[in-house]
Structure 1
Amino acid sequence: GILFIDEIGELDNILQNKLLKVLEDKRVEFSSSYYDPDDENTPKYIKYLFDNGAPADFVLIGATTREPGELNPALRSRCTEVYFEPLSSKDIEKIVLNAANKLEVTLEDGVAELISRYTIEGRKAVNILTDAYGFALYSNKSNCKDSVQITLKDIEEVISIGRYVPFERNKDEKEYEVGHIYGLGVSGFLGSTLEIEAAVFTAKKKGAGTVRFNETAGSMAKDSVYNAASVIRKFTDKDIRDYDIHVNVVGGGKIDGPSAGAAITMCVISALLDKPLKQDIALTGEISLRGKVKPVGGIFEKIYGARRKGIKLVLVPKDNENEIPKGLKDIEVRAVGDIEELLSIVF
């Protein structure tokens, strides 16, 4: 048969090891402090189960929201792993509209879209809608349940009281901007955009320029800035020591890897040359001293994060090309190998 265990990651190590033994032996053993093998009143089938165990030949299916590495490695090695795509904004909107039909209420234009900005979980989306429904009923002076309409104001009231934070804020409408670009990051199983900006000033004293970056960022991210500085010197013929360069990740996001290197490099070059960058692009990749775009992790999650932001084009390293999801319709993903390719696209 089939044994389905929801939230299998919540089993402690002892239980996971017991489950592993059952899978290997195809037999389950029973023990109980209430069982007395010498009790003559114990039914024979109970005695048989405790003495010999029971056959347990089954297919195991487990679901979890935990990181795969948190599961027992021996258990994982016997599994085929299937990763599910998080719900998109359109999926959430569809869930909200279905819930509204069940509640038999009408929605003001934009309600489903507004809710979709604040959650990626269907359950939470329905909760926001039902809270707004209760608020709308309470505010309805006629007390007529048949004529309830949930307005944007009702949703905004619920969002305000619940202290909900949007997953992605509205993107700037500008097509081009100097010293501003979107990078990509991953937190858990969710991808998100990183808003990166750079400012460049001529140093007061030639050769005494400084480079400054977020203090909260990890050491690998800071190394990306210095790598970018070396690459910029090579490709622009400008001595960055003659400039004060300030790179900032808006919101102070903590970056613990080198994957923002390509975005930081483009951002600084833009500020240095006073050349505007396209604002519907997001990129990820480590930049090497030779100007190569090196592979990074979390490509699937990062593309998903870019979609939520409304990004039209994502640039990923050439070596990550096989990790690009198939059948994408609302976003374009291109693989690039070096800084020359990057420069030709982002400007």
Structure 2
Amino acid sequence: FFRELDTEEIQKVAKNAAEKVEMQIGENGIEMIGMYARNGREAINLVQISAGMAINEERSFIKDEDIEWVVHSSQLTPKYEKHIYPIPRIGLVNGLAVYGPNTGALLEIEVTAIKAKDKGSVNVTGIVEEESIGSQTKSIRRKSMAKGSVDNVLTVLRSLDVLPEGYDIHINFPGGIPIDGPSAGIAMATGVYSAVHRTYVNNEVAMTGEISIHGEVKPIGGVYAKIKAAKKAGAKKVIIPAENMQPFLYTIKGIEIIPVRKLKEVFELTFMQENMHRELDVHTHVDETDAQSM
């Protein structure tokens, strides 16, 4: 299958292009090209135009300023590359997304939960709440799959000791990556539970997986690209649905891949151990009286 080149591969293309035109180029210049070029063709163009500027000034090397000028003139924007947060935080979870042709990215999911004075509320930002499907002459609007995933999350958490009606909950997807799918389900559930119970989330764990209303972790798409993105972002472990686990995934070295079937497993793997004071079981209903006594 086709995939976009990663940053390191684009940098190699740029180095080869510079050698081909017999131009020297510094590491800063190579890194800059890797940051802005989306593919091999753009990398080669950046090198060739910069080399042309050097030749006009009778230089045998490409200056960083040459590349900066080409980037500015071409109105290129840096690629989105996120790294894990350096320390554990409450309500911050490393989700995973796919954009473009099989390109993965780390997706920070932020959640806050404030005790509501009256009836609680749930606010979700950074996703499409409704989407239009159809042609130019006829279209219909349907509820976003991502918004439906939020509803699933809240249903599952009610079967734990999280009662969303008592909180003003805000779930945010920063970073500008288009989000419209259910694969962030387990990450959202983890974030909401963390925010409500003030529990720290392991910053070295990334995760992806749809969640059912019974707390089961369902398969998703783009798992290979997501695992690669988790590794590149600095995660030490990545949680994926058990049904997505395939032998070829073990060829990815440098990150522990953990398949799960239940949300309970996700919580046990993700929350910092010193904060795990209670046994989690999505099949055990905790009524409102019990929840308030915890």
TM range (shorter): 0.7 to 0.9
Rounded Cα–Cα distance in structure 2 between residues aligned with 1:163 and 1:181:
33
Amino acid at match of 1:89: T
Confirm or deny that 1:318 pairs with 2:242. Answer: yes
Aligned CA distance change for structure 1 residues 295 and 126 (closer, same or farther; 3 Å): same
Amino acid at match of 2:97: G
Contact 1:286 1:294 (8 Å CA) reproduced = yes
Rounded Cα–Cα distance in structure 1 between residues aligned with 2:101 and 2:169:
33
Q: How does 1:8-157 map to 2 (within 5 A)?
A: 83-137=1-55, 143-146=57-60, 148-151=61-64, 153-157=65-69
Quote how far apart the aligned CAs of 1:320 are.
Answer: 0.4
Return the match for 1:193 from 98, 102, 106: 106
* Long gaps (5+) in structure 1: 1-82
Q: How does 1:183-222 map to 2 (within 5 A)?
A: 183-190=95-102, 191-205=104-118, 208-214=119-125, 216-218=128-130, 219-222=144-147
Amino acid at match of 2:59: K
Contact 1:183 1:194 (8 Å CA) reproduced = yes
Contact 2:50 2:62 (8 Å CA) reproduced = no
Quote how far apart the aligned CAs of 1:95 are.
Answer: 1.5
Instruction: Give 1:340's aligned residue.
Output: 264
Quote how far apart the aligned CAs of 1:84 are.
Answer: 4.3
Quote how far apart the aligned CAs of 1:165 are.
Answer: 2.4
Quote how far apart the aligned CAs of 1:253 are.
Answer: 4.2
Return the match for 1:168 from 77, 80, 83: 80
Give the secondary-structure state (helix, strand or coil) at the position aligned to 1:197: strand
Contact 1:216 1:252 (8 Å CA) reproduced = no
Rounded Cα–Cα distance in structure 2 between residues aligned with 1:238 and 1:297:
29
Aligned CA distance change for structure 1 residues 170 and 157 (closer, same or farther; 3 Å): farther
Aligned CA distance change for structure 1 residues 308 and 133 (closer, same or farther; 3 Å): farther
Rounded Cα–Cα distance in structure 1 between residues aligned with 2:93 and 2:42:
31
Q: Which whole-Å deviations, capped at 9, do the CAs of 1:121-172 have from their partners, x for residues lacking one?
A: 212111122223334455xxxx3333x2432x43333223222223323425
Contact 1:217 1:255 (8 Å CA) reproduced = no
Aligned CA distance change for structure 1 residues 110 and 162 (closer, same or farther; 3 Å): same
Rounded Cα–Cα distance in structure 2 between residues aligned with 1:224 and 1:257:
8
* Long gaps (5+) in structure 2: 131-143, 272-294
Confirm or deny that 1:256 pairs with 2:180. Answer: yes
* Count of matched residue positions in the alignment of Structure 1 and Structure 2: 256
Q: Which whole-Å deviations, capped at 9, do the CAs of 1:42-87 have from their partners, x for residues lacking one?
A: xxxxxxxxxxxxxxxxxxxxxxxxxxxxxxxxxxxxxxxxx24542
Aligned CA distance change for structure 1 residues 117 and 324 (closer, same or farther; 3 Å): farther
| TM-score where L is the length of structure 2 | 0.77
Instruction: Give 2:167's aligned residue.
Output: 243
Quote how far apart the aligned CAs of 1:246 are.
Answer: 0.7
Return the match for 1:301 from 196, 206, 225: 225
Quote how far apart the aligned CAs of 1:188 are.
Answer: 4.3
Q: Which has the higher contact order (CA 8 A, sep 6+)?
A: 2
Contact 1:184 1:282 (8 Å CA) reproduced = yes
Give the secondary-structure state (helix, strand or coil) at the position aligned to 2:93: strand
Give the secondary-structure state (helix, strand or coil) at the position aligned to 1:329: coil
Aligned CA distance change for structure 1 residues 226 and 251 (closer, same or farther; 3 Å): same
Identity of aligned residues (%): 36
Confirm or deny that 1:286 pairs with 2:210. Answer: yes
Aligned CA distance change for structure 1 residues 136 and 303 (closer, same or farther; 3 Å): farther
Quote how far apart the aligned CAs of 1:175 are.
Answer: 2.4
Amino acid at match of 1:144: E
Give the secondary-structure state (helix, strand or coil) at the position aligned to 2:36: coil
